Amino acid sequence: MRILLIADIHGNWPALQAIQEPFDVCLCLGDLVDYGLEPRPCIQWVHDHVKHCVRGNHDHGAAHMVKVQGKNGFKYLTSITRPLTQQLLTAADRRYLGSLPVSERVTLENISFLLVHATPRDPLDEFAVADTEFWERRLADVDTNVVCVGHTHHPYVLEVGDKLVINPGSVGQPRDGDPRLSYAVIDSQRVELKRLEYPVEETIRVVQESSLAEVDKKQLADVFRTGSMPRAKGVEESNGR
């Protein structure tokens, strides 16, 4: 069985469309919306093609009309794009996002998978780095073979005891300094992290045509083009994941 594992689409329709990977089952680890300004086709694609999808913190915020306040970093970018996202979403879109489970257990070919956006301890919002000691504590009481997570926008595969942790990285907004979209393929129990170029200028064009302030358009465009948040003095990049 060939499994396509994706996460953190963030309304980036050109990036999602660029994935032409053949698969038998697609699993999605949440955050379909915010940042990119084409959330509806992304939601529709997930609805039509994804077998199991869990809710991310951005999905939760958009579904429940959560207002975000932030002065810098990704929290600021969330605060300026969330109102536009909510204007674009229909009531049915919000219901769909809000109906996604925060975690899901799936068995495929006798292998048990736990799907969460962040971590088993905090499925929506804990930031989980690729650190074995960190994950040993998180997985001590978790009975599964494979744990699939997103949220960090950094891809990694980590062996933790008899378990495997897979983070496919971000389809729509990579943050590891590589602007190419990221995803994972699991085939015959072998995991491959993949990177793929996509028409990023199409994503930026939609941003440029929006009602955002020019300075905000530039900041978003820089993130999409560089795969990272330009650092400002005294500002931590991880704000507002």
Contacts of 234 (CB under 8 A, 6+ apart): none
At residue 94 the predicted structure's pLDDT band, cuts being 50, 70 and 90, is very high
Alpha carbons 128 and 135: distance in angstroms, whole number: 8
β-pair type (25-28, 2-6) = parallel
What confidence score (pLDDT) does residue 69 get? 86
Average pLDDT taken over every residue of the chain:
95
- Say which DSSP state 170 is in: -
At residue 70 the predicted structure's pLDDT band, cuts being 50, 70 and 90, is confident
**DSSP state letters, 140-156:** TT---SEEE--SSS--E
Residue 132, number of CB atoms within 10 A of its CB: 11
- Amino acid, res. 161: G
What confidence score (pLDDT) does residue 230 get? 76
Higher pLDDT, 34 or 70: 34
What confidence score (pLDDT) does residue 231 get? 67
Alpha carbons 1 and 6: distance in angstroms, whole number: 16
Is the separation of the CB atoms in 81 and 74 below 8 Å? no
Q: Parse the chain into domains and list their residue ranges.
A: 2-101+171-226
The CATH class of the 2-101+171-226 domain is alpha beta
Alpha carbons 8 and 30: distance in angstroms, whole number: 6
Is the separation of the CB atoms in 59 and 31 below 8 Å? yes
What confidence score (pLDDT) does residue 240 get? 52
What confidence score (pLDDT) does residue 234 get? 42
pLDDT digit string, tens, across residues 119-137:
999 999 999 999 999 999 9
- Above 50 in pLDDT, residue 23? yes
Say what the pTM is.
0.95
pLDDT digit string, tens, across residues 163-222:
999 999 999 999 999 999 999 999 988 999 999 999 999 999 999 999 999 999 999 999
Residues in the chain: 241
- Amino acid, res. 92: A
- Whether the CA torsion 54, 58, 60, 63 is positive or negative: it is negative
At residue 235 the predicted structure's pLDDT band, cuts being 50, 70 and 90, is very low
Q: Which residues pair with 158 in a beta bridge?
A: 165
Paired tokens of 192: 């491959």
Average pLDDT over residues 81-99: 97
